[in-house]
Homo-oligomer: A and B are copies of this chain.
Amino acid sequence: MFRDADLLIHNALVLTLEPGAPPLIQGYVAVQGGKIAAVGQGAQAGPLLPARERLDAGGALVMPGLVNTHCHAPMVWFRGLADDLPLHQWLAEVIFPLEGGWLDPEKAYWGALLAAAEMIRGGITTVADGYFFAAEVRRAFAEAGLRAVAAQGVVDFPAPGVPDPGDNLKVAAEFLASGHGLPARLSSAIFCHSLYTCGPETLRRAKELSRSRGALFFLHLAETREEVQGLRQQTGLTPAAYLDSLGVLDEQTVAVHAVWLEAPDLDLLARRGVKVSHCPESNLKLAAGVAPLSRLLELGVPVGLGTDSAASNNNLDLWGEMSLAARLHKVWRRDPTALPAAAVVALATREGARVLGLAESVGTLSPGKEADLLLLDLAQPHLTPLYDPYSHLVYAARAADVTHVMAAGRWLLYDRQLLTLKFAVIREKIQVLSRELAPRPRKTPPPASS
């Protein structure tokens, strides 16, 4: 077992998220050297184990930290700046101009700090981010103590930090080659934005680059019907078939959104071992569509949940994604038994880790894995009574119920207090600079009939 833990969390309801494992009543988790040393249960066993630090969870729920498989952290700057618009208009008229003319490395860094604060408060311990100035994002996540895959954005037009698109892969290669001295929990990847912003040569070469570095390759795939129709007119192929013709689909590829997939596309993704990031709140808000989640799971495609950006969501809260995923696919399939609660909790933890190639190190509370976990306060009206903890996590719990968060054995949140980030400083910085974008609240309530 273990000799002398650094930390023992006891008197908890522990969900290990190991497949088939029952909830551990009066459970405990021991942490040693940043890793999980032991997990078990018993009213006597826990308190008696030797440990330098003890935390009586007081009946709180302990589970693996959440894994956010898709984010664009610096876009917190644009949270609520322009809502209720179609994706392409929103990108072309609001987001791309601001990214090109306003964002700079410092703003990307501060935005990523704010995003990290929000994610930690909501129990996220691992995030995969895709954006420009990815080295700044990676630096912010390193400071925040998060586990992260930071991916450098690639598009075939001028982008933040890449004024000449001819340099897009050079910048990406430099990013992949950098980051020496950062903790091992930070890794680097490539994020080709989409098929409508990256040409075939860019896609092929970006994938070659990530392969050569053993890095993940992210891409927004078949997010809207317009994207699929546009590509079909150009090439006669669906987005998945087109990517396959470029040799881009493999087990190191994460297809984000994956909404408008036909049956052969689904089979193709499954055959190639492609992973999927499902972002239902963003997909609904942009009216993009509803991804065939149940079919993907039936085919054995690993799927994780993603928040997407605060500009399109507008939060970085995986509890909302869980609640929505569980509900949405029931009504979409006209089957109230679709996506049961426990399966959805698995998507936000164990399966998310699989999507990011981190299944060996995080996603479940298993001895030998990294100590990435959260505590959730069950002593609240909306979580009372308690029959089934998975049900509560999906259908009733919220980000604010998370009280403690640990990544790699280090507390990031303790008793709802951020330990690695100074939110007051971050907020002041963001508030002052965001005035450049919009000086004051703009909208008024429309009449009742609107």
Contacts and interface: CB of A to CB of B under 8 A. Distances in A.
Interface of A: 13, 15, 17-23, 25, 76-77, 79-81, 83-87, 90, 114-115, 117-118, 121-122, 281, 283-290, 297-298, 300, 302, 310, 313-317, 320, 323-324, 326-328, 330-331, 333-343, 345-346, 350-351, 354, 379-382, 384-392, 395-396, 398-401, 423, 426-427, 430-431, 434, 437-438, 440-450
Q: Top 6 closest A-B pairs, CB basis?
A: A400-B400, A284-B327, A385-B434, A80-B391, A118-B381, A287-B336
A80 B284 contact: no
A346 B443 CA distance: 13
Contacts of A317: 382, 398
A12 B114 CA distance: 23
Contacts of A448: 19, 297, 302, 346, 350-351, 354
The oligomer's copy count stands at: 2
Nearest to A120: B381
Nearest to A337: B84
15 contacts: A17-B445, A19-B447, A20-B444, A76-B385, A85-B336, A285-B326, A287-B334, A302-B448, A314-B392, A320-B320, A342-B445, A385-B431, A387-B441, A388-B443, A390-B445
B442 A387 contact: yes
A22 B285 contact: no
A423 B18 CA distance: 34
Contact of A342 (B17, B313, B334, B444): B444
Contacts of A84: 330, 336-341
| Residue with the greatest number of chain B CB neighbours at <10 A, chosen from A328, A380, A449 | A449
A281 B430 CA distance: 34
A211 to B, nearest CB: 26
B446 A342 contact: yes
Contacts of A76: 384-385
B121 A381 contact: yes
A343 B287 contact: no
B384 A446 contact: no
A174 B21 CA distance: 52
Nearest to A85: B336
Contacts of A283: 331
Contacts of A316: 382
Given A84-B336, A287-B333, A395-B313, A118 B341 contact: no
B315 A395 contact: yes
Contact of A385 (B77, B281, B328, B443): B77
A340 B446 contact: yes
Nearest to A434: B385
Nearest to A23: B441
Contacts of A281: 323, 327
